[in-house]
A and B are shown apart, each in its own frame.
Chain A
């Protein structure tokens, strides 16, 4: 069984880990921790604004460190699970969907931001998008904070 855990930030990641502690997975599970970086400067933008290269690298490092922390925390309670990490770049809904299809994921776990209707309209609603298009089982973890 393959489980994808999509993490957007530290707080959401902690909520997902808390959920995974309460419904532990079996040892033979392959778990993929994924973070999607929404915007990175392209080549032209980097040439025009040299400072953007550093910004992009910092953003990528930040995402990798977040996944490292999550994977480390998860390994404490599930030492025998096969843990994989991947930072992706693009639109979160589309990238998660593509990853699920590529890796034949059986279950996706996400912790969405608690947004009101106005905020959903402007910022989008990834969980609703996943709900509509994902071919696999989806768990929406409600944040405790």
Chain B
């Protein structure tokens, strides 16, 4: 079985890994963790930003993606020690990137996180999970973080900030 794990950030990545660790996987299961870097469309069509700034943004995104993937691979390998885990990073519009990556491999299951945006935020920022769910040829699991956990995470971030400010 081929499982494509689409990770956007640390928080949802860890939630997805937690979900994976709660299930059992057949011996032949492979996990491919991907991170899709969103292209800077504005910069490529209009020279609004200086090219040096764009280059720096790209470099920072790639650097973040590389460290995120290394971290996710380490955590997932801990959760499923007997399975093959590998990573991939590429630049594409996220929903198309995930759908195409699943088609090309071809994946049997896509696991991804969702911010659970509603109303105006959803209209503005869209829902990658919803687009993947309706267009993918394989099964899709969308992992949600329970609201209580989200609140506790937000609180802990605030506490960390307060502590840092106090120092």
The answer to whether A23 touches B24, judged by C-beta atoms less than 8 angstroms apart, is: yes
The answer to whether A23 touches B142, judged by C-beta atoms less than 8 angstroms apart, is: no
- The answer, yes or no, to whether A64 is at the interface (CB within 8 Å) is no
Known contacts A131-B129, A132-B118; decide if A137 and B19 are in contact (CB<8 Å). yes
Known contacts A132-B118, A142-B136; decide if A23 and B143 are in contact (CB<8 Å). no
Residues of A within 8 A of B118 (CB): 132
Interface residues of chain A: helix, strand, loop or mixed (majority): mixed
Residues of A within 8 A of B116 (CB): 135
The answer to whether A131 touches B25, judged by C-beta atoms less than 8 angstroms apart, is: no
- The answer, yes or no, to whether A19 is at the interface (CB within 8 Å) is yes
> What is the CA–CA distance of A132 and B122 in the complex, to the nearest angstrom?
10
> What is the CA–CA distance of A138 and B138 in the complex, to the nearest angstrom?
14
> What's the minimum C-beta distance from B61 to chain A, rounded to whole angstroms?
28
The answer to whether B144 touches A22, judged by C-beta atoms less than 8 angstroms apart, is: no
Known contacts A132-B118, A135-B146; decide if A140 and B22 are in contact (CB<8 Å). no
Known contacts A131-B129, A136-B146, A137-B142; decide if A26 and B23 are in contact (CB<8 Å). yes
> What is the CA–CA distance of A135 and B151 in the complex, to the nearest angstrom?
14
Contact residues of B between 75 and 89, Cβ < 8 Å to A: none
Interface-central residue, B23, B114, B129, by most chain A CB under 10 Å = B23
The answer to whether B144 touches A135, judged by C-beta atoms less than 8 angstroms apart, is: yes
> What is the CA–CA distance of A23 and B80 in the complex, to the nearest angstrom?
13
Binding site for B on A (CB under 8 A): 1, 19, 22-26, 107, 127-128, 131-132, 134-142
Binding site for A on B (CB under 8 A): 1, 19, 22-26, 108-109, 114, 116, 118, 127, 129-130, 133-134, 136-144, 146-147
